[in-house]
Amino acid sequence: MSEQQIKLLFDYVQKRYLWQFFSRSWDRQENIEGIIAAATDMLNGKHPHKHAPMDRLFYADAKEMVKDFRENFPWIDELEPTRIGEVMNGLKGMLIDHAITRSLNHELHHSLY
């Protein structure tokens, strides 16, 4: 069932959030990793780091995403912490693959960016 859960979350994120589509590949990677890490912490009842400005930005985006996940996918709160980690890592992998690795936007990897 986790592949199906990951796909549901992936489809939701693709339709709702623009932070995965920044103009440079390193920006996209940083956002995806930071937001997913903060969201994973919050889903596991932990408080994400909010020391640096980027940490606070990731927290703000993750907070909204976690709220949406809990409203639209109530099964996420029933998962054990290890399963939450697996699902969120799967989501991160799918986002990186789709938004960076297989992206047809050639400017993502341009040397002048």
The answer to whether position 16 is within a domain reads: yes
The answer to whether position 110 is within a domain reads: no
The answer to whether position 113 is within a domain reads: no
Check residue 55 and give its pLDDT. 93
Inter-CA distances, 56 with 50, 89, 95, 106, 110, Å: 5, 21, 21, 30, 28
22-70 pLDDT, tens digit each? 778 888 899 999 999 999 999 999 998 889 999 999 999 999 999 999 9
Domain that holds residue 73: 2-104
Check residue 72 and give its pLDDT. 97
The answer to whether position 58 is within a domain reads: yes
For the purposes of burial, counting CB atoms within 10 Å of the CB of 107, is it exposed (0-12), middle (13-18) or buried (19 or more)? exposed
Check residue 106 and give its pLDDT. 73
Check residue 1 and give its pLDDT. 56
Domain count, the chain: 1
pLDDT surpassing 90 at residue 85: yes
The answer to whether position 47 is within a domain reads: yes
**pLDDT band at 113, cuts 50/70/90?**
low
